[in-house]
Structure 1
Amino acid sequence: MAAPEPSRKAERFLTQQYRLVGRHSAVKICHWCKECIRGRSPCYKYDFYGIDSSRCLEMTPAITCNQRCRHCWRDNSLFSRDLPHPVDEPKDIIQNCLKEREKLLIGFKGNEGMDQKRFALCLKPNHVAISLTGEPCLYPKLPELIKEFRKSGFKTIFLVTNGTVPEMLKRLTGKAAPTNLYLSLEVFDKPSYQKFCLPLEKDNWEKLWQSMKEIKKLKKKNPKMRTVIRLTLLKYINMEKPEALLPFIKEIQPDFIECKGYMFVGYSRQRLKQENMPYFEEIQTFAKKLTKLSCYKTAGQVRTSNIVLLKKS
């Protein structure tokens, strides 16, 4: 029997160098992982958190999202609202992500001058970024997935959420708590949120605020877990009033704030303009203003990634 024709969604993902895993997961090799394997500069996560980019597994258990954010570099027209049922098991997702990741990397082995010891090590990831695409908190077995990553020998687990699934955050405690829990923020009031994030559910803004309360509670239960607000900074959209962020900081009291510049790449070029991309100096200025308004101080910066890290003092 002939293999079924790939769907439009699958074809688009494959063209963008994703590899689909099971019914609703995906894996991809990021730019910084490739650079690190070649012996070049690592991702900013190395400078900030000591993460070895060459041993990073970037994946998602949910190629679906409940928002259509304008700055998203993915083709978010491909996002469906719900996951297929029944969902895949965590152990199967991890095993197949590792297999697909190895297939994506195997071509590096024959590169001229490749350090074979480094290459062999990169095939054994010890860090996972659950952030590739979609909203991972929509995967109903996320706590079990995080636990399974730990059982599989992963030392650090970073989870990025848009904060619209507070009921899932309640479950991320104990061994299900990630190393870093990121809340991604772009705009700071409901009208702007409705226009920029284009939520598919009417009460997503209210869910975001509930998630912030849950993150604060989670931190108390899991003091070793690092909480992070990740700001995607866009000129003429969210950089004029740093003080608008203060209610969010007060609510979460995160360990870190990442001020990261928007990049004019991918499908976001169909929704935004190149002038929305800030220069590094503008990000530094924004971060400096934020330090004057809060108890956070500059803890690091990486020009090549257009990012400044603030830490609670």
Structure 2
Amino acid sequence: MLDEWKLARLYRAQYRAVGHHSAVKVCHWTKEAIRGHAPCYKQTFYGIKTANCLEMSPAITCNQRCLHCWRDTTIFSKGWVGPVDDPKDIIKGCIEERKKLLIGFMGNKNVEKSKVQDALNPKHAAISLTGEPCMYPRISELIDEFYAQGFESVYLVTSGTVPEALEKLNKLPTNLYLSLTAANLEQYKELCRPVEIDCWQRIQKSLDLMSKINTNTVIRITLIDKLNTENPEEFVPYIERAKAKYVECKAYMHVGYSKDRLTEAHMPSMETIRKFGKVIEENSNYKAKDERSDSRVLLLERTAKR
């Protein structure tokens, strides 16, 4: 599934390919946590330990080509191509490659060796690194296997374009994220550039499914200044439709391959994010709960029963 040129581009970006279609990478915040600096905002909001996070994806493919995506979308295929690896093999490979990426910290005299040793044993899985994870045909089995191997929490991040995968989940992820970047079809086509004609309709189905899923559900709105920050009230019906426990209003960050499509000016300020969140508050059953200005993210929590 991964050609040599795709593998080379992944490697240059510090990804490590696993098997036929998976990848792992150590994120900036994991490295910062090992150094003793500030953790990822998800530790602040939800209590997961950043240094023990395994960020990976079982699907280096996607049915969207989002403007704001910091991944290399040129390596994505339009659908699933090739073999389907076993979840056990994927997890084993991701843990091994992650260790190789982190082992260099053992030679850093400014880092406590005990912190590195602890970080080498991941306890949290974030299925979110690249592509659309729900396109992996065995996503439910993958989540089950993470739990079977003793992982304390498993996060699944999806665009919502594969609702049938959500319907078939066995053990639920600790947090189920749905990325919602647009509040209408025209905005969706402009920002997310789907490669399938019914993706918007599929997202609506996933929103309905979220309202019935009994786990921590999160709507994450990636805010791109001037492109989707000026119609916050239009997002409210979708948020209420999903009845998610949390809503994250998160700034687009001008990093990675997104720099080829957007400018630094498209990163909204924390004040812009707060104003956006305030409109959501005033028109919904959500109230601001927390924020991290260094990550430009605001957390809203649902106040009404589902």
TM-score, length of structure 1 as denominator length: 0.94
2:198 aligns with 203
Q: Does 1:102 align with 2:92?
A: no
* Secondary structure of the corresponding residue to residue 299 of structure 1: strand
Structure 1 residue identity aligned to 2:252: Y
In 2, the alpha carbon distance for the partners of 1:66 and 1:38 equals 36
Instruction: Report the Cα distance in structure 1 between the residues aligned to 2:72 and 2:91, rounded to whole angstroms.
Output: 24
Superposition pairs for residues 152-231 of structure 1, below 5 Å? 152-173=149-170, 175=171, 177-217=172-212, 219=213, 222=214, 225-231=215-221
In structure 2, the partner of 1:3 is: none
Moved over 4 A (4+): none
Preserved contact between residue 270 and residue 296 of structure 2 (Cα < 8 Å): yes
Tell me which of 135, 138, 148 is aligned to 1:138: 135
Q: Tell me the number of residue pairs that the alignment of Structure 1 and Structure 2 aligns.
A: 302
* Residue type at the aligned position of 2:50: S
CA distance in 2, matches of 1:171, 1:205: 20
1:92 alignment counterpart: 89
Helix, strand or coil at the partner of 1:282: helix
Alignment check: 8 A CA contact 2:132 2:158 kept = yes
Q: Does 1:46 align with 2:36?
A: no
Percent sequence identity over matched residues?
Answer: 50
After TM superposition, the score normalised by the length of structure 2 is 0.96
**Mapping of 1:232-271 within 5 angstroms?**
232-271=222-261
Contact (CA 8 Å) 2:25, 2:56: kept in 1 or not? yes
CA distance in 2, matches of 1:27, 1:74: 13
| One-letter amino acid matched to 1:40 | H
Instruction: Report the secondary structure of 1:57's partner residue.
Output: strand
Aligned equivalents of 1:36 and 1:264: distance in 2? Answer: 22
Identify the range of structure 1 (250-259 vs 271-280) with the bigger mean alpha-carbon deviation. 271-280
Amino acid at match of 2:255: V
**CA offset at residue 197 of structure 1?**
0.8
2:295 corresponds in structure 1 to 305
Displacement of 1:86 after TM fit? 2.4
Cα distance between partner residues in 1 of 2:199 and 2:271: 33
Q: Which amino acid aligns with 2:104?
A: G
Deviations 1:208-246 (A, max 9, x none): 1111112222x2xx3xx1000000011111111211011
Structure 2 gaps of 5+ residues are none
Unaligned runs of 5+ in 1: 1-5
Distance 1:46 1:195 in 2: 32
Q: What SS does the corresponding residue of 1:82 show, helix, strand or coil?
A: coil
What is the CA-CA distance between 1:83 and the residue it aligns to? Answer: 2.9
Residues 109-133 of structure 1, C-alpha deviations (whole Å, 9 max, x = no match): 1101321221111011100100000
Are residues 1:272 and 2:262 paired?
A: yes
The answer as to whether partners of 1:90 and 1:145 remain within 8 angstroms in 2 is: yes
